[in-house]
A and B are shown apart, each in its own frame.
Chain A
Amino acid sequence: AQSVTQLDSHVSVSEGTPVLLRCNYSSSYSPSLFWYVQHPNKGLQLLLKYTSAATLVKGINGFEAEFKKSETSFHLTKPSAHMSDAAEYFCVVTHTGGFKTIFGAGTRLFVKA
């Protein structure tokens, strides 16, 4: 069975400060993990994905995530937040050979000027 938990429903940061969005997963298989972003009234866009290669994954717009098997975590980080980063972020788990995609509940990121 697979599941994904996003530990914060809302995160608020000031512009220029670091961003940390937390995600824990559970999977009976070797997982593939993704982060997607959804801006208001828009569809989802892939930020980055982990599929058993390097554990530190770099994505678009300066985001990165680190796969930590021992902690079953895949937290999303960015060194310096920008106003345009305000959006909802979804952590997603699936696995190689799998077909179902499990989305977390989402974390809404607010960026203050």
Chain B
Amino acid sequence: DSGVTQTPKHLITATGQRVTLRCSPRSGDLSVYWYQQSLDQGLQFLIQYYNGEERAKGNILERFSAQQFPDLHSELNLSSLELGDSALYFCASSVAGNAVNEQFFGPGTRLTVL
């Protein structure tokens, strides 16, 4: 158990809908990272937050947004969902904001868009 929690574990929704994925980092970790894992794209870095502020952006679509709250949990919002958004979404946390720190991964949220 990495200490990172993600909810929900599974999510099934329809095209055009909006969903919110939640992540709680390990106690003491200030950084939260979001990743998307799909069969065709592999593991893609989406976005990183550090202590409430956006730190780095990867291949995140404009339909997606994220935020980190004062208690350091983070939410990833996915809107106008398309079939191609079906994937496993991972959250990871690390103690500091620099990417050289070890990241601890949550178990993931499996999103299915029908």
Residues of A at the B interface (CB closer than 8 Å) are 32, 34, 36, 42-46, 49, 51, 90, 94-106
Contacts and interface: CB of A to CB of B under 8 A. Distances in A.
Interface in B88-105: 90, 92, 97-100, 102-105
Nearest to A31: B100
B107 A101 contact: no
A101 B99 contact: yes
Interface in B62-114: 90, 92, 97-100, 102-108
B98 A97 contact: yes
Contact of A43 (B45, B98, B99, B108): B108
Contact of B45 (A44, A103, A106): A103
B99 A46 contact: no
Contacts, number: 59
B24 to A, nearest CB: 14
A43 B56 contact: no
Interface of B: 2, 4, 33, 35, 42-45, 48, 55-56, 58, 90, 92, 97-100, 102-108
A99 B105 contact: no
B55 to A, nearest CB: 5
Contacts of B107: 42-43
Nearest to B41: A105
Contacts of A49: 100, 102
A104 B107 CA distance: 20
